[in-house]
Structure 1
Amino acid sequence: MRAYRFDHVHLRTPDPDATARFFETMFGAEVTRDVYPPGTLYPGQLRVTMRLGGQTVLLAPPHPQEPTAPAPRFPYFGLEHIGLAVDDVDAAAEELRAKGAEVAIGPLMRSPGLRLAFIRGPEGIMVELVQRR
């Protein structure tokens, strides 16, 4: 079988810079900002790439030729959230709340050895904090 490797998550947002600032402030994401070159779908617009937990997350503005729908009500089918592992969910949730984040769910014990919380970000982006023991 062909080998597949994880490459990226792509988030669409009306304000990529504001969404990037949220991930920088709340989760320490490493953010690169530049401009889409001529001949691309978004020439001259801000292009944002983040490194978060060792993975690449791309942030793009609304599609120029297609209407962009708002995020559905959580929970929903499809790509629902980004999960980040932490050593202490309670401490992480409290730290994020102190920075102004909305702790939408938890912290709570999902099952023995699994504690979690959900943070609601811009455009309804959900980030799960996971503590496994």
Structure 2
Amino acid sequence: MEPESFFHVAIKVDSLEEGLDFYRQQFDAEFLERGHADDGGGATAVNHAALEIADKRVYLFDRAPYEAAGLVDDVPTGFLHFGFVVDDIEAAYEELAAAGVEFVMEPSVFGDLKITFVTDPAGVRIELLEHL
């Protein structure tokens, strides 16, 4: 499987406001969008903010989408995952599953994306996403 591009890093923070202030002040982050838990359900029931730093996105979450969906126990504050864009999420899922890669979440629609999460041998979560 060959990703199309590196897309983002996701970080769980104790305070979205403090996280936003830090990345804006210290790294000249550009604010892109904000999402509210009340507007979603399951994996989308999270408060988050999207920033652009240099040429990459950084997402700040109050809890991980896979936490909100009940797929994993509470995840500690800090690094959550990084994400790669793929052309075809179903094909990537099938290829990785056939290779014995462990999935945290099967392909699911998340707003205007189709996503899935895998773990590497050290347990690092990697998101694969396809723009719909």
TM-score, scaled relative to structure 1: 0.44
Whose strand fraction is larger, Structure 1's or Structure 2's?
Answer: 2
Higher RCO, Cα 8 Å, sep 6+: 2
Larger radius of gyration: 1
